[in-house]
Amino acid sequence: METPSRHAPSDLVAEFQPGRIGDGKPTPPKKQPLYERLWTWVPIRALAPRHRDRIAEHLLSLGPQDVYLRFGYLASPAQIRKYVDMLDFERDEVFGVFNRHLALIAMAHLAYPPSGTVPASNRMAEFGVSVLPSRRGRGYGSQLFDHAVLHARNRDVHALFIHALSENDAMLKIARRAGAVVKRHANESEAWLALPGDNLASHLEEAFAEQAAELNYRFKQRARDLRHLLESTWGKSTADNLDDAQDFNPDLPTTSAGSTDKKA
């Protein structure tokens, strides 16, 4: 939903001083009460190099306007594939939300500056997100943002940075809701969110969320395999009954971009 930053890491550091962002006032992220986070929890899984094809499929499923908002220009399919090929999974973190067919319906990229380009006292990360049009309005963007905030603070990152087109209301709304300071420069905007330090609770929350998301993914994987078995043995109608049995879970909506890739 937003373009990668056009600034050099040193330019971003000049904008950011620990505890003083934008107007000079501390801006710790706003956080939902625990019961609300549990009620709206979405399984978010870390992505790896083996998921490049799914990431490309997800981004190529976006419409022209969504691609424009995500990259800041109307990226061609070749440019999108180049972006996916250049993802650095060792340095950065990429997260995703899968539906019950293991299609990637939402993803986020948490990009860190190259080693040595930013002082340790000014560690920062840039956030980017995209959600399939058919899955909008379910809070996936906000959930991925909160997930990125948790991961960043647990890695001693002091601030989260977002560079978006000013017309990207959805992304800027997520940033403002979290307490970020947003600066507008003509048709582009920047948002800074100061992060609190990590603690035992934040590390336990991250570990629990990762384990729960992994269990959720394995369940979807087994359900998909069972569906394939039922469909090949008893026919499509029997397999459809399995889908109906899963409809109680709001996290398991069907999309037309179902994947049959068995890689975890």
Which tens digits make up the pLDDT trace of 155-164?
989 999 999 9
Handedness of CA 240, 241, 246, 247 (dihedral sign): positive
Distance CA 262, CA 102 (A): 9
- Which range in 6-10, 21-25, 133-137, 141-145 is most confidently predicted, on average pLDDT? 141-145
Distance CA 12, CA 20 (A): 13
Cβ atoms within 10 Å of 224's Cβ, excluding its own: 18
pLDDT at 69: 92
Where do runs of H (alpha helix) occur along 43-177? 52-60, 64-71, 77-85, 140-153, 169-177
pLDDT (average), residues 110-136: 84
Give the three-state DSSP class for 250.
coil
Band the pLDDT of 48: cuts 50, 70, 90: very high
Cross-strand partners of 98: 104
From 209, 131, 122, 125, select the one nearest 162 (Cα to Cα).
Answer: 125
Pick 250 or 165 by higher pLDDT. 165
From 153, 69, 57, 155, select the one nearest 107 (Cα to Cα).
Answer: 57
Rg over CA atoms, the chain: 19
Which tens digits make up the pLDDT trace of 210-262?
888 888 888 887 877 777 777 777 666 655 555 554 444 444 333 333 333 33
Band the pLDDT of 44: cuts 50, 70, 90: very high
* CATH code at 9-210: 3.40.630.30
pLDDT over threshold 50, residue 23: no
Give how far Cα 150 sits from Cα of 17, 27, 189, 198, 211, Å.
20, 15, 23, 8, 15
Give how far Cα 75 sits from Cα of 3, 72, 79, 84, Å.
10, 8, 6, 12
Instruction: Decide: 203 and 150 in contact? Cβ < 8 Å.
Output: no
pLDDT at 120: 66
pLDDT over threshold 60, residue 10: no
pLDDT over threshold 90, residue 32: no
pLDDT at 110: 95
The verdict on pTM exceeding 0.85 is: no
The mean pLDDT value of the chain amounts to 78
From 115, 45, 49, select the one nearest 88 (Cα to Cα).
Answer: 49
Instruction: Decide: 120 and 163 in contact? Cβ < 8 Å.
Output: no
pLDDT at 224: 76
pLDDT (average), residues 77-106: 94
Which tens digits make up the pLDDT trace of 169-207?
989 999 998 889 899 888 899 999 999 988 999 899 899
Q: What stretch of H or E contains 35?
A: helix 34-39
